[in-house]
Structure 1
């Protein structure tokens, strides 16, 4: 509640700053006023667009963290992993955001789609229209309101149903014991992972890549997933640290933190690998229809995003790589806590960099966006902690619970 309250204050301050044009040069104010005058009946003022786009960006980020909790748990099931049982209930709790976040995402698309997606504007796919765009019209079979909405709801329903199912099997196992629930969970997890492999990439195309509708990357699904994935592991680790420091999770030891640290270390490198592969191939080919994406973020809009482009690499790669390089660092909760917070802030900024240039262009800011992110974080934590309180933090009848308790590396 404190985080939500602070977020509301930052949001109000950001709205006042936007209305009063604090910290903006005369040229920027003139540009914003011109953009406001050019708005059609389909769009809104710059301030309203910032609010809508910020809600979309933070919600997509937190939905990703939420579903990664289920993905992480499903991978542990199909790989017959035992070490992670002590954090299993944290993975289950992360899924608490899927339903409210999914409902909000659908509402945002229905109400504010013109502020987020250029391809939703009237006449853009109609030949002869003043707004006609040949490239966008070529994607009309995929980018339609009805089909998009069906896809969005399908992704969210699939993720939500499997999250709920694995949670129910886990709770039933606690009550009744036996191994039947465990084996059913493995089958359920395997099916979920197959469906998630497809739907996660399509969600990345729909929710993020179609913001820059002229541009596409065959690596983009992997890029968004890697950002979600390492953020989800960081969230799991950070919650485990806070629980441990509060006197819970007594069976969790330095070996568990070491393994979580290795995952964050490894997948921070994986995220960088995908980032570099996408950037290097586009830079090397130097095709205008591909390089425009990075031109916007490197020097475009009077360089408004350039510093964040480089900071993105520092906070999401260089810092976790250097901080978690040694074995001892992965076993120290204070270092792990700092790295987890840095990763979560860094990948929220990564989604900011993915979405803002294609939507707000040069009219971006930070106070409103940070305030909304804090409100989301507070609401997310309320739902997660409530779900954590619903059952034992240790799945007492899990077949591998003893292996997890005595885990060593």
Structure 2
């Protein structure tokens, strides 16, 4: 394999990629405006807030997943991945923006209220997290009082809830920034000092992330249906986060390689990424099945309410499609060695899984925010346009962040030569 490259190569963000990403952003903005002002009043607003939460959470998770990838590569002192580290580093640079968007969506969804009638009782409820933030749920003597929610009010109230999410996203973003900063400093000074700092930051991230990400998932998504809980939910979300980040990294890497960038990348690097995608797709399936089956083998009938909603006619077909896209598809498309090295198949599989895990998050969120009556047609204008808008925004921000690096390879990383000679 050729080992002499110009590592001063920079990525120029221009042309069709920039144009199409901006078009996607415009489509997303128009979709949001349509949902808030033109689509069936309060129902349209509810649907728009639900989709903004869905995409805001997805956007933040894929950036967090890239930092997770960086962290375990440094902690394991892995050499094979060095040549492609700039892509997850670009994701890490975008996390602060994704975090701000998610926090704004959550705060706006909690503070924007409307009147609802349930079981013949009228209440003032927010558009997001109404299961615990509806007025009167934690007030003794109120006709809406809920003892279960009152018992969780120390965490499930506005400021502790928002504060927890801000703190966790802030910690993830700061350590991600440190990993990028040390890598850029390494390119200037060489030596082992910055690599050792990266190793320490990576270990710190893994410790913090391992203990706190389930809390982030519990707050952000599971609390949409605050009566239900699952101790597997955090790990289920972690598996989805990891697969989506890996697919995003792999898809961008292959597309940029085919457009003339990252010339030192070979099918061996893509093969290694695909092994991770394949393995964690299987892990996602294991946790999905365990959480689903838990209601039976642990004899917890009270938890069936969560899955019962997802077996309503409006969602049941999508419930099973979720398994087809996120388990059956990677199982069949990426099992063989050759499949992991065939770039056309790899791109198709990555796109399929990115859509599949969007559907996965959709099924986590929509049944908890929309009633079956509201979703007679599960996918509408908001789902499509807001997805396109966030895809455009993500593409624009990541490629713009990538263009800020002085080189597309960490030229003075101590394991760069090992990565250039990676062969499996």
Q: If the length of structure 2 is used for normalisation, what is the TM-score? A: 0.87
Tell me how far apart the structure 2 counterparts of residues 69 and 175 of structure 1 sit (CA, whole Å).
24
User: Is residue 406 of structure 1 aligned with residue 421 of structure 2?
Assistant: yes
Change (3 A) 1:6 1:100: closer
Superposition CA RMSD, Å: 1.9
In structure 2, list runs of 5 or more residues that go unmatched: 1-18, 111-125
Kindly indicate which of the two structures has a greater share of residues assigned to helix. Answer: 1
| Distance change in 2, residues 1:202/1:220 (3 Å) | same
Going from structure 1 to structure 2, the CA distance change for 1:20 and 1:81 (only over 3 Å counts) comes to: closer
Pairwise CA distance, 1:96: 2.9
Tell me the CA shift for residue 97 of structure 1: 2.7
Match of 2:337 among 309, 327, 330: 327
Deviations 1:131-164 (A, max 9, x none): 1112111211221211111101101110110011
Moved over 3 A (4+): 6-21, 283-288
Deviation at residue 285 of structure 1 after TM alignment:
4.1
Matched, 1:343 2:377: no
Contact residue 25 and residue 393 of structure 2 kept, 8 A: no
Decide which of 106, 111, 116 is 2:128's aligned counterpart.
Answer: 116
Tell me which residue corresponds to 1:249: 262
CA gap of 1:175–1:17, structure 2 versus 1, over 3 A, is closer
Are residue 5 (structure 1) and residue 26 (structure 2) matched? no
Distance across 2 between alignment mates of 1:188 and 1:225? 20
Look up the match of 1:356.
366
Q: CA deviation at 1:173?
A: 0.3
Find the aligned partners of 1:5 and 1:217 in 2 and give their Cα distance.
Answer: 40
Corresponding residue for residue 15 of structure 2 = none
User: Is 1:85 paired with 2:99?
Assistant: no
Provide the secondary structure at the position in 1 that maps to 2:245: helix
Deviations 1:313-355 (A, max 9, x none): 0000000111001100000100100000001000011000000
1:284: Cα distance to partner?
Answer: 3.3
Kept in 2, the 8 Å contact 1:77–1:189? The answer is yes
Residue 217 to residue 115, structure 1, CA distance change in 2 (3 Å): same
* Structure 1 portions without partners, runs of 5+: 22-31, 37-44
Separation in structure 2 between the aligned mates of residue 53 and residue 318 of structure 1, nearest angstrom: 28
* Structure 1 residue 59: Cα displacement: 0.8
Task: Count matched residues.
Answer: 385
Determine the structure 2 residue equivalent to 1:139.
152
Asked if 1:192 is matched to 2:192, the reply is no
Q: Is 1:305 aligned to 2:315, yes or no? A: yes
Distance 1:294 1:372, change over 3 A: same
Query: Does the 8 A contact of 1:96 with 1:387 survive in 2?
Result: yes
CA distance in 2: counterparts of 1:93 and 1:17, whole angstroms: 31
- 1:98-157 CA-to-partner distances (Å, cap 9, x unmatched) read 112211222222221221102111111111112111211121122121111110110111
Whole-Å separation in 1 of the counterparts to 2:60 and 2:159: 22
Q: Partner of 1:70 in structure 2? A: 67
Report the counterpart of residue 6 of structure 2 in structure 1: none
- Larger deviation, residues 251-260 vs 359-368: 359-368
Distance in structure 2 (CA, Å) of the matches to 1:173 and 1:234: 27
Pairing of 1:38-57 with structure 2 (within 5 A): 45-57=42-54
Alignment of 1:144-293 (within 5 A): 144-285=157-298, 287-293=300-306
Q: Distance in 2 between matches of 1:297 and 1:11?
A: 29
Does the residue aligned with 1:47 lie in a helix, a strand or coil? helix
- Aligned partners of 1:12, 1:185: CA distance in 2, in Å? 41
Shift of 1:287: 3.2
Query: Is this contact kept in 1: 2:326–2:353, CA < 8 A?
Result: yes
Match of 1:27 in 2: none
Relative to structure 1, is the Cα distance of residues 106 and 383 closer, same or farther in structure 2, using a 3 angstrom cutoff? same
Instruction: Provide the TM-score with structure 1 as the length reference.
Output: 0.90
Measured after TM superposition, the shift of residue 283 of structure 1 is 3.2
- Give the superposition deviation at 1:2: 2.2
Q: What CA distance in whole angstroms lies between the structure 1 residues aligned with 2:146 and 2:44?
A: 26
Kindly report which structure 2 residues correspond to 1:88-103, keeping only aligned pairs within 5 A, or say none: 88-103=85-100
| More off after superposition, 279-288 vs 364-373 | 279-288
